[in-house]
Structure formats: C-alpha cells, structure tokens
Amino acid sequence: MSRKLKKGYFVRGEFVAEGSERDLELKRELKGTDEQSRTDLKRESLELQKLGEDLLTLCADLMARLNLSEKLKDAVVEAKRITNFEGKRRQMQFIGKLMRPLDPEPIREAINEQQGGSAQLTLTLHLAEQWRDKLIDSDDTLGRWLTEHPDTDSQQLRALIRQARKDAKPEKPGEAPRHGKPYREIFQMVKQALSQETKEQQEPDA
C-alpha cells in the first residue's frame, strides 16, 4: 500500500504541511506584510497628493526649474482650473500618480524656497512699516536710517517726511491723522532699500 503524500510546500528548505501550525503562522506573517505594504502605499500616495497640492501654488519661475513632464505640467494647469470638489479630488489623485516615479526632493526644495521667500517678504513689509512710522515721528530715526542706508536719497526722503507730517495733522480736533501720497512713498522707499539689503545678504560672496 502506497504512502499518502502530505500536501504542502517548502520554505527555505523546510517542508510546511498545509493546515499545520507552521503553515498558519506563515500565512499570518504574509497577511501582515501585505497589510503593511498597502498601508505604506496609501501613506506614500497621500504624501504625493499633498505635495501635488503644494505644487499648484508654486510660482512660474520655480516651476520652470523643475524637470517635470509636460503631462504633469498640463495636469497641474488643469487642476488649477477645476472648481468642482470631486473633480478636483480626482485630478489631485491623478497628479499624485504622475509624481510617483519622480524624486520628490527637488519639488520640496522649490516649495520650501518659495515659502521662505514669502516669510522674508512679510518680515520686510513689517520692518518697512515700523521704519516709516518712526521716520515720521522722530528726526533721530532719520539720522539712524541714513547712517545704515547711506545710498538713500536723503533730500527726497526729508521732503516726503515733512509733507507726511503736515498731512497727518488733523484739520479738526479729534479727527484721525490723514495718510496721503508721501506716507505711501516713504514706505516704498524704505521697503525697496530693505529688500535690496536682504538680497545682497543672501547672495553668495564672489
């Protein structure tokens, strides 16, 4: 009488019979690996979709520096045009799919560069506002400004400050100060000087 062969398989030289404890253990491990793989893929997909959303906000100059396919560029343009929520969601999934073969680091660096530039611009605007108000309030501030920024057209700035102070005087008691054209021009002068200073600081030494 022939011996009935057990059904099973070999794993690294080990015979594993179907239905055995070892078989069930290996199947549990495999299931866990599959679930982990699906979790990793889902997380990666969501990360790429988020990066794709940030890509939509990237300015043209930074976008041009990235080595993106025409298909991805067209998909980004289309996503900006779509206003329907569900349509937008599907388009962002499509963008995420197109981004899978790409190295995401250059895109992240471009986005970080833009966000850093926005933060610097906000800081410059706040500083310009502070300088403008102090220049109008105090002659001492004008001297300090001219010392720190000797390229400033001092004659023009003095004239603007005099006119801004004159404009700021309320016509009637209790009225709020008026801010005319000189007030805005002082701000623009200061902002331009501060922006130039920041640009020179960020440029590498020759």
Q: What is the 3-state secondary structure (H, E, C) of 117-154?
A: HHHHHHHHHHHHHHHHHHHHHCHHHHHHHHHHCCCCCH
**Do residues 88 and 79 lie in contact, with contact meaning Cβ atoms separated by under 8 Å?**
yes
Beta bridge partners of 8: 17
Domain span at residue 150 reads 108-200
| End position of a domain, from candidates 40, 72, 102 | 102
Among 27-36, 134-143, 162-171, the minimum mean pLDDT is found in 27-36
Which tokens sit at 191?
Answer: 């902002």
Identity of residue 68:
L
Does the pLDDT at position 129 exceed 70?
yes
d(CA 185, CA 160): 7
Nearest C-alpha neighbor of 100 from the set 54, 60, 41, 26: 41
129 with 72, same domain: the answer is no
How far apart are the C-alpha atoms of 45 and 53, rounded to whole Å?
A: 12
Please indicate, yes or no, if residue 206 is contained in any of the structural domains: no
Average pLDDT of every residue of the chain: 80
Rounded Cα distance between 74 and 55, Å, is 12
Q: Evaluate whether residue 93 is within a structural domain.
A: yes
pTM to 2 decimal places: 0.46
Give the residue from 102, 130, 149 where a domain finishes. Answer: 102
Does residue 172 fall inside a structural domain?
A: yes
Tell me the per-residue pLDDT of 66-110, one tens digit each, with 9 for 90 and over: 888 899 889 988 988 888 888 888 888 888 888 888 888 888 888
Question: Could you give the percent of the chain with pLDDT greater than 90?
Answer: 20
Q: What is the largest CA-CA distance in the chain?
A: 121
User: Minimum mean pLDDT among 11-15, 55-59, 88-92: which range?
Assistant: 11-15
- For residues 160 and 136, what is the distance between their CA atoms, to the nearest angstrom? 9
Angle at 144 between CA 141 and CA 147, to 5 degrees: 150
- pLDDT attached to residue 63: 84
What's the alpha-carbon Rg for the chain, to the nearest Å? 32
Task: For residue 67, give the CATH number of its domain.
Answer: 1.10.60.30
Task: Print burial letters for 122-142: b (CB count within 10 Å at least 16), e (below 16).
Answer: eebeeebeebbeebbeeeebb
- Domain-ending residue, one of 102, 119, 143: 102
